[in-house]
């Protein structure tokens, strides 16, 4: 009997479009001989539907129509163990949920909390870890408390005046990064070279969250590690982002017009081993399970500085996460299979 896997895509998030591409890739690469796939789409407005149409329409954002969708909800009743068709009242039991959602309302612990209440196993980090990793300031503070390096940053809310902000960051040298506290794919992030640009950058960041951080620039380049597992951890090859200018913003992440990703990173093997060791430490400190991509900076004086953790990294077959694991001989199809098994294994261990 096949394992029934619900793959959730879309989401009430600024990263809705990215999710559609990732989910399409996961659906196409999952082993159909082993898994029965249910496709669940969440609109930008936050409504949830069971989708039965053409897979290719998901990536094109043409999935929503009157013929192929049924409005559903995830039942919080543990005895249901699945979803409810809101038109007929039918309960559809699920074995596991695979959330392929990026950013708010998908990667930040909210969906994970609902699934935990419902007693439905799922792929990826748990509610607590997802929430911590999404909170850039808290994640940095936890990593710093364990003796690892992270950029100096300050946290602000909308109650802080521009004068308050200027006074608090007076010890930092430009350029600086102004970021929403909880947003992915570099949405709302601005790199500023002078004090005159601060006000506009702050306004932009507050469009995406009610809290922001202002962070020092790390003079180095970004490296990343793919980590897979709950307890017995597998780590992929280290990659490197080469930037011609600016920073790795949303446009560059998905177009690579002026940047390039090197895999493996163009640094000695011994240094890559050190980066992998730090990535594993961060994964454990932040309570990650299932999978995550740990992003760090590698400086000119060979220091490794934590940047952020993506608890649901890009999942296309050519995304950074699966590419790093492919480099050590693990195919994308196998990654998907392992992730589902890890989610089911965690359920068994927690029962």
The pLDDT tens digits for 134-160 are 999 999 999 999 999 999 999 999 999
Percent of the chain with pLDDT over 70: 93
Q: Is the pLDDT of residue 108 over 90?
A: yes
Q: What pLDDT, in 10s, does the model give residues 258-279?
A: 578 999 999 999 999 999 999 9
Label residue 350 by pLDDT band (50, 70, 90). low
Q: Which domains does the chain have, with CATH numbers?
A: 3-122 (3.40.50.20), 131-149+218-350 (3.30.470.20), 153-216 (3.30.1490.20)
DSSP state letter for 208: T
Q: Is-contact 183 209, C-beta < 8 A?
A: yes
Longest CA–CA separation in the chain, Å: 63
State both tokens at 329. Answer: 């001989």
Q: Are 305 and 231 in contact (CB under 8 A)?
A: no
Other C-beta atoms within 10 Å of 152: how many? 13
Least confident stretch, 18-22, 73-77, 345-349: 345-349
Average pLDDT over all residues of the chain: 93
Q: Any bridge partners for residue 149, and if so which?
A: 305
Alpha-carbon gap, residue 246 to 267, rounded angstroms: 22
Q: What tokens were used for 80?
A: 């249901």
Give the Cα separation of 258 and 244 in Å (integer): 6
Per-residue pLDDT tens over the stretch 178-236: 999 987 657 889 999 999 999 999 999 999 899 999 999 999 999 999 999 999 999 99
> Please, are residues 124 and 343 in contact by the beta-carbon 8 Å criterion?
yes
Measured distance CA(119)–CA(80) in Å, rounded? 9
At residue 144, what are phi and psi to the nearest 5 degrees?
Answer: -60, -40
Q: For residue 255, what pLDDT is reported?
A: 47
**Rounded CA gap, 347 and 351, in Å?**
6
The token duo for 264 is: 């493996």
CA distance 23 to 9: 6
Query: Given a cut of 50, is residue 326 above it in pLDDT?
Result: yes
Q: CA 92 to CA 75: how far, in whole Å?
A: 10
């Amino acid at each position: 009997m096949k394992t029934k896997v619900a793959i959730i895509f879309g989401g009430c998030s600024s990263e809705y479009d990215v999710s559609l591409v990732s989910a399409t890739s996961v659906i196409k690469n999952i082993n159909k001989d082993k898994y029965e796939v249910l496709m669940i789409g969440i609109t930008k407005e936050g409504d949830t539907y069971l989708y039965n149409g053409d897979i290719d329409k998901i990536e094109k954002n043409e999935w929503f129509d009157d013929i192929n969708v049924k409005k559903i909800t995830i039942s919080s009743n543990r005895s249901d163990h699945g979803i409810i068709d809101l038109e007929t009242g039918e309960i559809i039991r699920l074995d596991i949920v695979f959330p392929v959602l990026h950013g708010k309302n998908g990667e930040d612990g909210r969906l994970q909390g609902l699934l935990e209440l419902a007693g439905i196993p799922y792929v990826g980090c748990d509610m607590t870890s997802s929430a911590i990793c999404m909170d850039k300031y808290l994640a940095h503070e936890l990593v710093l408390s364990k003796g690892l390096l992270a950029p100096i940053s300050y946290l602000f809310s909308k109650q802080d005046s521009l004068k308050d902000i200027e006074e608090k960051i007076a010890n930092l040298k430009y350029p600086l990064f102004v970021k929403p506290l909880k947003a992915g794919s570099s949405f709302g992030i601005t790199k500023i070279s002078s004090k005159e640009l601060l006000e506009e950058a702050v306004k932009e960041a507050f469009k995406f969250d009610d809290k922001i951080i202002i962070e020092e620039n790390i003079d180095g380049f970004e490296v990343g590690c793919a980590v897979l597992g709950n307890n017995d951890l597998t780590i992929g090859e280290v990659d490197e982002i080469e930037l011609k200018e600016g920073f790795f913003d949303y446009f560059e992440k998905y177009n690579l017009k002026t940047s390039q990703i090197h895999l493996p990173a163009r640094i000695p093997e011994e240094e890559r081993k050190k980066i992998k060791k730090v990535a594993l430490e961060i994964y454990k400190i932040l309570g990650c399970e299932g999978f995550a991509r740990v992003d760090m900076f590698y400086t000119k004086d060979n220091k490794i500085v934590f940047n952020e953790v993506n608890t649901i990294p890009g999942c296309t077959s050519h995304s950074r996460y699966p590419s790093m694991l492919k480099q050590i001989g693990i195919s994308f199809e196998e990654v998907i299979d392992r992730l589902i098994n890890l989610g089911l294994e965690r359920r068994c261990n927690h029962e």
